[in-house]
Each structure stands twice: as structure tokens, then as C-alpha cells.
Amino acid sequence: MIRILKRLGRSMSNKLKGKKDLCKRCGACCLAGGDGIYHWCEYLFFKKDKIPTCMIYDNRIGKKITGGVCVLRYKTKYDYPGCPLNTGKPVHPFFDKDKPS
């Protein structure tokens, strides 16, 4: 079972590797938190041109952030508005305006 899950993860990772370049660097997937309370990751830095940048990009995976841990994009539980790497998962609750609050 574990081997199947690992293979699935590898296959998904390979599938999305080519898509990584499609990331628009909007920073939307850098939200953390839960129970209706979300915040931007403390490592997300907005440059003067307002482009979000991860301050620890090369070492981000597995890094503890307030309210969670940074994971590879394909391992996130949600889709994000306008993200080319969406795969049909539920939209992140922060952006899901149809969801009753």
C-alpha cells in the first residue's frame, strides 16, 4: 500500500514538474491557519513591486510556519483562484466566497 502511494506521489510530482514553470507567483497558496482564521505565511515577503516572494524558497519544504508546514504545491489540499496548477480540489476556504461563514 505504501509503495502504491509513493508511486502515485512520484507520478503526480512528475506530472506537475513541467507545470511548475506555470506558477504565476501570486502567493495565494502561501496561506496558513484553520478554523476560518487564515494568515499569510510569515516567510512571504512583498517586494516594492508588490510581487510576493518566499524568503526561504530553497529550504521551504517541511519548514514549520505558524499554523502549518510548507509543502510542495501538489500536496496542498486546495485549489486557488487562477492558479494554473489547480487539479480540481476544493477551493481554499479563504477564497471560497460561496461557503457560508
Binding site for ligand SF4 (CB under 6 A): 23-30, 41, 43-44, 54, 56, 60, 63, 65, 70, 73, 80, 83, 85
Smallest distance, ligand SF4 to C-beta of residue 56, A: 6
Instruction: Identify the CA nearest to 41 among candidates 54, 23, 26, 24.
Output: 54
Smallest distance, ligand SF4 to C-beta of residue 7, A: 24
Instruction: Identify the CA nearest to 84 among candidates 30, 10, 19.
Output: 19
- Rank residues 3 and 25 by Cβ distance to ligand SF4 and give the closer one: 25
- Rank residues 41 and 94 by Cβ distance to ligand SF4 and give the closer one: 41
In the 8-state DSSP scheme, what is residue 44?
E
Smallest distance, ligand SF4 to C-beta of residue 52, A: 7
| CB-CB contact of 23 with 72 (8 Å) | no
Q: How far apart are CA 23 and CA 38, in angstroms?
A: 22
